[in-house]
């Protein structure tokens, strides 16, 4: 069952989304050589809590952090720890905030100091693939129209999309129907309707798309050790262009 949000619920999701986006921006500003991923996580948690919200990921299925901080070949679900960021790293930060019964969910990959041209290109392809995908995210189209557009753009730029993890509906629960893959045939999947709220989140590898999960049960790395990047926003489907709910409002 795909829920359609009421105007009241949408108003609440705008607020959750704003806090989430602000937490992402804060995290991005903290990415620099010498900082630990745990320090970033702590700042994110304090910010979200200071806004009267709860970090969506903290204790979710036992996840120990407020953010997922995924460095270099770590694609997603990197657990914040005492790892010290160094010049040239690329750092994906995924955050969620829950307030008044609804979640926001967003992510971005940030360069740590000066990074390689290949790394910067990967970051840009990943973010642009999101925007290419949501060009198709309007009422009357189907979920896989988004998926297909993301995949086409990523592969046209020599990168690959992760198959084992997908975007999702988001609202009262962090993960709701429908699944929003970053691959697949256009014209398939549920029809998009105004009031659907989706987390569209391309996870992109510079090399092959196969990933594996480390023994901690979370940390997901590229199987070939190539770099990976992530970009995500929570969006609202409308009759026209979708509304991005994870915006800072600045
Ligand atoms: N954006 C990710 C997702 O949609 C973050 C989840 S991390 C978890 O799944 F810890 F909450 F699982
Ligand atoms: Co998500």
Q: Is residue 68 within 6 Å of ligand 1 at its C-beta? A: yes
Whether 220 contacts 203, CB under 8 Å: no
Which ligand 1 atom lies nearest to the CA of residue 77? 7
Question: Tell me: the pLDDT tens digits for 42-97?
Answer: 999 999 999 999 999 999 999 999 999 999 999 999 999 999 999 999 999 999 99
Which ligand 1 atom lies nearest to the CA of residue 165? 9
Give the pLDDT score at 135: 98
Using the CB atoms, write b or e for 125-143: b if 16+ within 10 Å: bbbbbbbbbbebbbeebbb
Question: Tell me: the pLDDT tens digits for 113-157?
Answer: 999 999 999 999 999 999 999 999 999 999 999 999 999 999 999
Q: For the chain, which domains are there?
A: 7-244 (3.90.230.10)
Whether 202 contacts 165, CB under 8 Å: no
pLDDT > 90? residue 193: yes
Q: What angle do CA 208, 212, 217 make, to 5 degrees?
A: 155
Q: Is residue 218 within 6 Å of ligand 1 at its C-beta? A: no
Nearest of 76, 113, 14 to residue 232 by alpha carbon? 76
% of the chain surpassing 70 pLDDT? 100
Decide: residue 206, CB within 10 A, 0-12 exposed, 13-18 middle, 19+ buried.
buried
Q: Is residue 41 within 6 Å of ligand 1 at its C-beta? A: no
Distance CA 13, CA 27 (A): 21
Q: How far is CA 243 from the centre of its chain?
A: 16
Distance CA 211, CA 7 (A): 39
Q: What is the pTM of this model?
A: 0.98
Whether 35 contacts 28, CB under 8 Å: no
Average pLDDT, the chain: 98
Pick the ligand that lies closest to the CA of residue 41.
1
Give the pLDDT score at 250: 74
Out of 56, 74, 78, 94, give the residue to mutate to test ligand 1, the one with the largest number of ligand atoms within 8 Å of its CB.
94
Whether 36 contacts 11, CB under 8 Å: no
Which protein residue's CA is at the shortest distance from atom 2 of ligand 1? 94
Q: Is residue 94 within 6 Å of ligand 1 at its C-beta? A: yes
Average pLDDT over every residue of 33-40: 99
Residue 197 β-bridge partners? 236
Out of 56, 76, 104, 174, give the residue to mutate to test ligand 1, the one with the largest number of ligand atoms within 8 Å of its CB.
174
């Amino acid at each position: 069952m795909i829920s359609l949000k009421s105007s009241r619920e949408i108003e609440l999701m705008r607020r959750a989304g704003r806090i989430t986006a602000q937490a992402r921006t804060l995290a991005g500003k903290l990415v620099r050589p010498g900082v630990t991923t745990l320090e970033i996580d702590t700042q994110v948690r304090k910010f979200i809590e200071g806004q009267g919200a709860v970090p969506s990921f903290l204790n979710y299925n036992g996840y120990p952090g407020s953010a997922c901080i995924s460095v270099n070949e770590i694609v997603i679900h990197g657990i914040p720890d005492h790892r010290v960021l160094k010049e040239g790293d690329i750092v994906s930060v995924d955050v969620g905030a829950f307030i008044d019964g609804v979640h926001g969910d967003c992510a971005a990959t940030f360069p740590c100091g000066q990074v390689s041209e290949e790394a910067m290109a990967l970051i840009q392809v990943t973010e642009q693939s999101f925007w290419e995908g949501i060009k198709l995210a309007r009422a009357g189209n189907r979920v896989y129209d988004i998926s297909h557009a993301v995949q086409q753009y990523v592969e046209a730029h020599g990168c690959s999309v992760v198959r084992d993890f997908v975007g999702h509906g988001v609202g009262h629960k962090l993960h709701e129907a429908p699944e929003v893959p970053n691959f697949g045939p256009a014209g398939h999947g549920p029809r998009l309707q105004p009031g659907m709220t989706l987390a569209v989140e391309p996870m992109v590898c510079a090399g092959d798309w196969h990933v594996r999960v480390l023994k901690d049960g979370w940390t997901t790395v590229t199987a070939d050790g190539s770099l990976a990047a992530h970009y995500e926003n929570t969006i609202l489907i409308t009759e026209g262009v979708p509304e991005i709910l994870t915006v800072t409002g600045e």
